[in-house]
């Protein structure tokens, strides 16, 4: 079974490579960006001996070539940028999805399953009403629009072709191989002696360890799931608890600074987690996922964060 991963050099991609590489029936095909090799040197060892296609998702002829020569049975589409200029976010996140779907249709090469890793933020302002999968989406930022439009495109394409789709909506993914500035800056702030607490102590987060997400994706494939699902850890901490865990891991006594709502609103244009927190969606419901997949991600948060911090430290990122 040929399985294509786009954005394979990123956080989720590296955990997927490690997880799926152990499964003999799967042949991995990896798409990575031209910048990944310099930016993420650890990817060299992970991709050795595998079919790797290096190119930009915005380059339609590259994507078409990738689809025609690899003919994947399953596609896991991960490419996205979390921040940047609005136009760039839309052209990579949504334009990239359009290129993949366009190439599949033009080449008449259709996978059995199309997996898209979206985000809870695809619902945008709709999260103020709740985060259940059926809620109406009101995406506002370019990232939210790019995720929602991609979801819609994947649903439309797969239903037209009569193939399965699995759309997963995490909140915050953490783990080794993350170069996401959200976690790096938070760790750095705590090291400098400041624990930022946005607005109040009981705002919920929704975390998932990247290794658990990789396992969840595999379970979704083998259980024949078809649909859109929220996904998170069994017991996500409040943001305050998360900071407390980090303080303890870093053995730092830092001062809690409650950041006022106005400042959070401004910073949330750049930092996804803050945007999510300002929407106050409460604990993300995962009943649909649990009922269909029968698996609850459960990596112990303390251990997961400890691995993440050690990895960041060993790679000179904090």
Ligand X SMILES: NC(=O)c1ccc[n+]([C@@H]2O[C@H](COP(=O)([O-])OP(=O)(O)OC[C@H]3O[C@@H](n4cnc5c(N)ncnc54)[C@H](OP(=O)(O)O)[C@@H]3O)[C@@H](O)[C@H]2O)c1
Interface with ligand X by CB under 6 A: which residues?
Answer: 7, 9-13, 33, 35-36, 39-40, 56-58, 78-81, 92, 117, 119, 170, 172-173, 180
**Which of 43, 236, 288, 247 lies closest to 30, judged by CA?**
43
- We find the least distance from the C-beta atom of residue 275 to ligand X, in angstroms, to be 12
Residue with nearest beta carbon to ligand X: 10
- We find the least distance from the C-beta atom of residue 165 to ligand X, in angstroms, to be 15
- We find the least distance from the C-beta atom of residue 150 to ligand X, in angstroms, to be 8
130 or 181, CB closer to ligand X? 181
- We find the least distance from the C-beta atom of residue 67 to ligand X, in angstroms, to be 14
43 or 199, CB closer to ligand X? 43
184 or 254, CB closer to ligand X? 184
- We find the least distance from the C-beta atom of residue 92 to ligand X, in angstroms, to be 4
- We find the least distance from the C-beta atom of residue 192 to ligand X, in angstroms, to be 23
119 or 186, CB closer to ligand X? 119
219 or 252, CB closer to ligand X? 219
182 or 254, CB closer to ligand X? 182
173 or 293, CB closer to ligand X? 173
Inter-residue contact 191 to 252 (CB < 8 Å): yes
**Which of 67, 73, 80 lies closest to 25, judged by CA?**
73
**Which of 141, 147, 289 lies closest to 226, judged by CA?**
289
- We find the least distance from the C-beta atom of residue 255 to ligand X, in angstroms, to be 27
Tokens 């009981």 — which residue? 202
């Amino acid at each position: 079974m040929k399985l294509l991963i786009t954005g394979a050099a990123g956080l989720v991609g590296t955990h997927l490579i490690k997880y799926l590489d152990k499964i003999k029936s799967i042949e991995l095909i990896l798409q990575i960006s031209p910048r990944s090799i310099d930016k993420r040197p650890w990817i060299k060892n992970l991709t050795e001996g595998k079919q790797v296609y290096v190119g930009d998702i915005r380059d339609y002829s590259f994507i078409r070539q990738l689809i025609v020569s690899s003919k994947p049975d399953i596609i896991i589409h991960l490419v996205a940028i979390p921040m940047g200029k609005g136009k760039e976010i839309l052209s990579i996140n949504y334009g990239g999805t359009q290129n993949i779907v366009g190439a599949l249709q033009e080449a008449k090469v259709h996978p059995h399953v199309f997996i898209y890793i979206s985000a809870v933020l695809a619902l945008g302002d709709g999260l103020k009403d709740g985060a259940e999968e059926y809620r109406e989406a009101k995406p506002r930022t370019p990232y939210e629009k790019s995720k929602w439009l991609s979801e819609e495109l994947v649903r439309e394409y797969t239903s037209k072709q009569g193939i399965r789709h699995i759309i997963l909506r995490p909140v915050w993914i953490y783990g080794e191989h993350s170069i996401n500035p959200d976690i790096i800056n938070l760790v750095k702030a705590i090291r400098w002696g400041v624990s930022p607490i946005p607005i109040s102590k009981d705002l919920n987060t929704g975390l998932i360890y990247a290794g658990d997400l990789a396992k969840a994706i595999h379970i979704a494939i083998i259980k024949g799931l078809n649909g859109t699902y929220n996904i998170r850890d069994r017991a996500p901490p409040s943001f305050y608890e998360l900071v407390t865990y980090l303080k303890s891991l870093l053995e730092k006594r830092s001062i809690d600074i409650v950041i006022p709502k106005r400042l959070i609103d401004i910073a949330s244009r750049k930092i996804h987690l803050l945007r999510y927190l300002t929407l106050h969606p409460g604990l993300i419901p995962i009943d649909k996922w649990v009922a269909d997949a029968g698996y609850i991600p459960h990596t112990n948060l303390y251990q997961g964060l400890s691995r993440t911090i050690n990895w960041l430290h060993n790679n000179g990122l904090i």
